[in-house]
Amino acid sequence: MNKPKATNIETLRGIAILLVVIGHVIGSTPAGGMKIDYPSFWRYLYIWIDYIQMPLFTGIAGWVYALKPATNSGFKTFAYKKAIRLLIPMAAVGTLYYIIQYFIPGTNMKGNLADIWRIYIFPYTIYWYLPSLFLIFMSMYIIDKYKLCQSAKAWLFLFAATWGISLIIKTVPSDIPNLFSYKGALGQLPYFIIGVGIQRFSGQLYKKKAICTYMVLTCIGLALLQYKWYYTLNIGEDIPFWYKALLPLWVASTLMLLLHINRSCQLFTWLGGFAYTIYLFHGFGTSGGRIIATKIGISSSLFIFMIATAIALFLPILVEKVVDKWQPARILFLGKK
């Protein structure tokens, strides 16, 4: 029998997917989403969301992985299951999204149909995360196969090593192809390692002094968000390397606190149960909600935000309810057998 899911982790998963949706509605840059330029409350809100949204998702994935390590099954079986879960929906839903974006007026970042093959090899909009996560899982299989994360000390060394690698990857020239979103995988791997460690070594990682250290580092990171906002407004968006270099430390400390909170919220726990489907399909809702709001004459940023967010959250849930009834579609669009 499957163990019941930890409601505190499912609550965090629900919060994480809400942040992802809100971030996509706003847009990662003034050219995307609601197309809101600096300075604006929405752009300030996005800086806070971007700080934690994907690391939280990845940390949760690491925590859940540690419940049932990959080495319990063979590599082929593990890779096959993850390919079904991550890569098939990436290709199927990504293709659908690309085609709809191409034909529907009012969507952002249209591509050329002749270039659709690129979405299966290179990062494509929100779907960059799926091949990255696949590579992270494969990396973790190797780490566990060779028993490189069997103690808190080994885990700490592993985090430091992956942190260092995530910095090195930032220096790779942009003209080197980001095949299968490997840069995203290396950037997110430290947070996956954090999630694994919290599950495996919580007894050693949550002494009183350690918790105080996490709190101090978290506060420093949040304070430096104000620096990032000031820098972006007054100097430019190319934030200094020292900020990027230290960012994983502040974020990791935040994850250490969040994933240790033993609180749950029924609404977010429920939402967390649909998190993967929402991630796959929320792009249709964010674009559609924005277009619908504009077509009916709504110009208020707040109302556009509310409409797009609501559609982006609940349309995917409806999709899952329908698609889940037919096995071929369930595999293709949800990655579920």
Average pLDDT over residues 286-299: 88
Average pLDDT over residues 179-194: 97
Residue 151 pLDDT > 60: yes
User: Other CB atoms closer than 10 Å to residue 138's CB: what's the count?
Assistant: 17
Residue 52 pLDDT > 90: yes
Average pLDDT over residues 296-305: 90
Task: State the Cα–Cα distance between residues 44 and 119, nearest whole angstrom.
Answer: 30
**C-alpha 57: how far from its chain's center?**
5
Average pLDDT over residues 279-304: 91
Residue 27 pLDDT > 60: yes
Q: What angle do CA 151, 132, 125 make, to 5 degrees?
A: 150
Average pLDDT over residues 83-104: 95
Residue 109 pLDDT > 80: no
Confidence of residue 154 (pLDDT cuts 50, 70, 90): very high
Task: State the Cα–Cα distance between residues 90 and 313, nearest whole angstrom.
Answer: 19
Task: State the Cα–Cα distance between residues 148 and 143, nearest whole angstrom.
Answer: 5
What is the share, in percent, of the chain residues with pLDDT greater than 70?
97
Cα–Cα distance list, 77 to 84, 90, 246 (Å): 11, 19, 37
pLDDT at 271: 98
pLDDT at 91: 98
Instruction: Determine if the pTM surpasses 0.85.
Output: yes
Amino acid, single-letter form, for residue 37: D
Residue 1 pLDDT > 50: no
* Contact present, 198 and 256 (Cβ < 8 Å): yes
